[in-house]
């Protein structure tokens, strides 16, 4: 049997320019950042409003500036929230571009945004006052509301992207979100409820705006120049950090039909596929603000191919064993959940969102030593990858599967005798041979010394692998 793997030559010159043109990335901002609100200036021993003040692994200030309270969000994240909920500070970001000025704001709360464009970004501060639990657009034009349904696409006028349970409309999986087009000047995405700390990126006419921490009952878009606009919202964070529940989408104009791409890619993985620590510079601890799923290798590869993408990934998970041998569900079990926090075996595998390509990027946590932990049983790991791949093949007949090696595994750690990157690569090649002619191995070389939080791949490392994966998928599927 022929081993179905591709040895793809790596692009060297121009990959970042290509990514910028195809995925709307600003090269000058392809590095770590801190939320703008945190850069406004605060006492060295205190965290600013909306800043982190505690959590597992946190080594920064544990006290907040006056008028705020350090509030528990989850075990990994405590946040400085305003003591009074009647009036909060927000940052309104106005972006000047070479095409149409874009201004994105939020209503009913103080949500901080960062807008990335091809030119310059100007940030101004203002105050917003909390109003009712539902926010509508104020305009001389009639506000148009969409009508939701229980279809996998969301509604007749907007659709979910990524894996979202239409019954709950919960954005839990990283990269999940919604997309729509409208003709008008403003639009609003209502949020029926939320928990934890969730960060999102909104793409408006190709311009990306980061909201480090979503608060309030809606996200308002505009005012924009009158015309047709495209909007896509993507969750940047792990399922365990928090979720958003989508209510409805409204506009002062009318919705415009926009069909999704017929090309669909699904990425199944661990923290690397989530974008853990991607926007950080090591040494640093991961937070929702430095996770960035839309800038991961999978999302960027999908952009290069003009494909829809879904990310079903969870930090710390493996295919045979998790990072800490914690007895918690492995990734193949979590894969059966519709939403990340739904019960097992709730996913219905709808035909409308069936992928033609599935990327499996699991093994970093399986191979991890953690001190006295036993080395990986390579045969058992290979068998687990094959079993999971065969399960996916049973749900999606004819699907192409791409087995991706880990950039966090090195042939020199923990010893040269372990040769972990080579060992995993050989195991994945063997698994691809067993899975058949539509299974492929794609190498992701061991990363260099410039890394994100907790030694995870940074934005540049993800960007370098994206065209390699895209080339493998294009070659196999003829895209």
DSSP-derived secondary structure letter, 34:
-
What pLDDT score does 444 carry? 98
SS3 content of the chain, % helix, strand, coil (to 5): 20, 30, 50
Residues 207 and 284 in one domain: no
Are 33 and 58 in contact by the 8 Å Cβ rule? The answer is no
In the chain, the percentage of residues whose pLDDT exceeds 90 is 63
Helix (H) or strand (E) holding 465: helix 459-477
Q: Where among 256, 288, 305 does a domain terminate?
A: 256
State the average pLDDT over residues 127-146.
33
Residues 211 and 270 in one domain: no
Q: Is residue 5's pLDDT more than 80?
A: no
For 8, the token pair is: 């793809």
- Residue 289: count of CB within 10 angstroms of its CB: 25
Instruction: Flag whether 358 is in a domain.
Output: yes
CATH at residue 410: 3.40.50.1110
Residues 421 and 446 in one domain: yes
CA torsion, ordered 21, 23, 27, 29, to nearest 10 deg: 150
- For residue 268, how many C-alpha atoms fall within 13 Å in the half-sphere facing its CB? 24
Instruction: Flag whether 199 is in a domain.
Output: yes
Residues 173 and 465: their CA atoms lie apart, in Å, by 22
- Tens digits of residue pLDDT in 244-281: 999 999 999 999 998 899 999 999 999 999 999 999 99
Residues 439 and 334 in one domain: yes
Residues 456 and 393: their CA atoms lie apart, in Å, by 30
Residues 318 and 457 in one domain: yes
Residues 269 and 171 in one domain: no
Residues 292 and 271: their CA atoms lie apart, in Å, by 11
Instruction: Flag whether 90 is in a domain.
Output: no
What pLDDT score does 190 carry? 97
Residues 175 and 293 in one domain: no
Residues 125 and 18: their CA atoms lie apart, in Å, by 34
**CA pseudo-torsion sign 170, 175, 180, 185:** positive
Higher pLDDT, 142 or 394: 394
DSSP-derived secondary structure letter, 344:
T
What pLDDT score does 75 carry? 56
State the average pLDDT over residues 363-391.
93
Closest CA to 308 of 356, 260, 340, 342: 260
CA torsion, ordered 13, 204, 271, 408, to nearest 10 deg: 10
Residues 320 and 397 in one domain: yes
List the domain range (segments joined by +) for residue 189.
159-256
Per the structure, the count of domains in the chain is: 3
Residue 383, helix vs strand vs coil = helix
Closest CA to 401 of 436, 368, 352, 372: 436
For the ranges 33-42, 55-64, 146-155, 353-362, the maximum mean pLDDT occurs at 353-362
Residues 220 and 288 in one domain: no
**CA pseudo-torsion sign 456, 461, 467, 472:** negative
Residues 348 and 209 in one domain: no
What pLDDT score does 117 carry? 32
What pLDDT score does 83 carry? 62
> What are the C-alpha distances in Å from 61 to residues 3, 45, 47, 57, 65?
53, 5, 6, 12, 10
State the average pLDDT over residues 298-307.
98
What pLDDT score does 450 carry? 93
- Tens digits of residue pLDDT in 19-55: 433 433 332 333 222 222 222 222 346 776 556 677 7
* DSSP β-bridge partners for residue 209: 115, 202
For 402, the token pair is: 């791409």
Pairing mode, if any, of strands 357-361 and 218-221? unpaired
Residues 335 and 470 in one domain: yes
Closest CA to 164 of 103, 259, 239: 239
């Amino acid at each position: 049997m022929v081993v179905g793997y591709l040895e793809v030559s790596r692009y060297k010159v121009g990959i970042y320019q290509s990514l910028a043109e195809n995925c709307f990335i600003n090269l000058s901002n392809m590095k770590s950042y801190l939320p703008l609100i945190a850069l406004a200036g605060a006492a060295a021993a205190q965290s600013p409003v909306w800043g982190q003040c505690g959590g597992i692994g946190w080594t920064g200030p544990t006290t907040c500036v006056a008028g705020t309270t350090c509030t528990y969000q989850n075990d990994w994240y405590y946040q400085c929230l305003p003591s009074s909920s009647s009036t909060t500070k927000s940052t309104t970001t106005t972006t000047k571009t070479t095409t149409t000025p874009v201004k994105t704001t939020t209503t009913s709360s103080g949500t901080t945004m960062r807008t990335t464009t091809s030119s310059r970004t100007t940030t101004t501060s203002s105050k917003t006052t909390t109003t009712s639990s539902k926010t509508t657009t104020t305009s001389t034009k009639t506000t148009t509301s969409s009508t939701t349904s229980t279809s996998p696409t969301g509604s007749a006028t907007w659709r979910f992207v990524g894996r979202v349970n239409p019954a709950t409309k919960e954005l839990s999986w990283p990269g999940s979100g919604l997309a729509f087009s409208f003709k008008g000047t403003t639009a609003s995405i209502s949020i029926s409820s939320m928990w934890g700390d969730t960060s999102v990126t909104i793409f408006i006419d190709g311009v990306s705006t980061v909201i480090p921490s979503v608060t309030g009952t809606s996200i308002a878009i505009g005012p924009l120049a009158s015309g047709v606009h495209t909007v896509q919202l993507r969750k940047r964070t792990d399922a365990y950090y928090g979720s958003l529940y989508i209510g409805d989408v409204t506009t002062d104009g009318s919705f415009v039909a926009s069909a999704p791409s017929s090309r669909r890619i699904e990425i199944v993985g661990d923290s690397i596929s989530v974008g853990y620590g991607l926007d950080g510079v090591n040494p640093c601890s991961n937070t929702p603000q430095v996770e960035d799923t839309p800038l991961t290798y999978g999302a960027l590869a999908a952009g290069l191919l003009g494909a829809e993408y879904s990310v079903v990934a969870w930090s710390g998970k493996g295919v045979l064993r998790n990072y800490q041998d914690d007895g918690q569900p492995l990734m193949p079990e979590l894969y059966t959940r519709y939403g990340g926090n739904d019960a097992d075996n709730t996913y219905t595998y709808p035909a409308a969102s069936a992928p033609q390509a599935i990327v499996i990027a699991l093994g970093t946590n399986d191979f991890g030593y953690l001190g006295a932990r036993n080395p990986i049983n390579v045969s058992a790991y290979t068998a687990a990858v094959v079993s999971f791949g065969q399960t996916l093949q049973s749900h999606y007949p004819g699907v192409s599967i791409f087995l991706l090696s880990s950039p966090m595994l090195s042939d020199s750690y923990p010893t040269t005798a372990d040769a972990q990157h080579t060992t995993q690569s050989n195991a994945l090649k063997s698994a691809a041979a067993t899975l058949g002619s539509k299974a492929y191995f794609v190498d992701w070389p061991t990363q260099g010394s410039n890394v994100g939080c907790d030694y995870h791949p940074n934005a540049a490392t993800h960007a370098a692998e994206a065209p390699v994966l895209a080339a493998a998928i294009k070659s196999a599927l003829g895209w």
